[in-house]
Structure 1
Amino acid sequence: MLILTRKLGEGIIIGADVVVRVIEVKGGQVKLGIDAPQKTTVHREEVYRRICEENVRAATHVPTRLDGVVRALNARRERDDGGGAPA
């Protein structure tokens, strides 16, 4: 981890097109300004972690009633194919 010391108004450059600048220091809080291209996503760490967790949840979610849907589709297919009695 790179650790830098910056004064009010000073900044750092990340890559060729992202600038992070110290805007305000008040008590134990530092306000940063971030100048980045619109295509670059910028999130607070806790927000980014929640986004990642939600993406994992969405990708691994298995509908609990999927078996009922499969049975209904199979029954309909049998009925439409003439293999079963009309419902």
Structure 2
Amino acid sequence: MLVLSRKKGESIVIQDQIEVTILAVEGETVRVGISAPGDIDIFRKEIYLSIKESNLESAAPAPEGLGVLMKHMKEIKKN
């Protein structure tokens, strides 16, 4: 991990496309502004992890209960 010190109003640039600027420092809270192209997603880490977990749950194999439901639906279709 690269660790940099920046003061209010100072920025860092990432690959000529993303600029991160320190907007304010108030106690232990730092306000950060991020300028990036529209095709780059920017999330707070807790939101990113929630999205990642949700995606993993969506891609998980179907529960066994689904097999029972499918069998029941086939029986209904026969009648």
TM-score w.r.t. length of structure 2: 0.85
Count of residues in correspondence between the two structures = 78
Mapping 1:60-79, distance limit 5 Å = 60=60, 62-63=62-63, 65-75=65-75, 76=77, 79=78
What corresponds to 1:48 in structure 2? 48
- The structure number with the bigger radius of gyration is 1
What corresponds to 2:4 in structure 1? 4
How far 1:65 moved relative to its partner?
3.9
User: Match of 1:30, SS?
Assistant: strand
Q: 1:69 & 1:41 partners in 2: Cα distance?
A: 38
Q: 2:61 & 2:29 partners in 1: Cα distance?
A: 39
RMSD: 1.6
Structure with larger RCO (C-alpha < 8 A, sep 6+): 2
Q: Does 1:29 align with 2:19?
A: no
Q: 2:68 & 2:2 partners in 1: Cα distance?
A: 54
How far 1:63 moved relative to its partner?
4.7
Q: Which runs of 5+ in 2 are unaligned?
A: none
Percent of pairs identical after alignment? Answer: 33
Q: Which runs of 5+ in 1 are unaligned?
A: 80-86
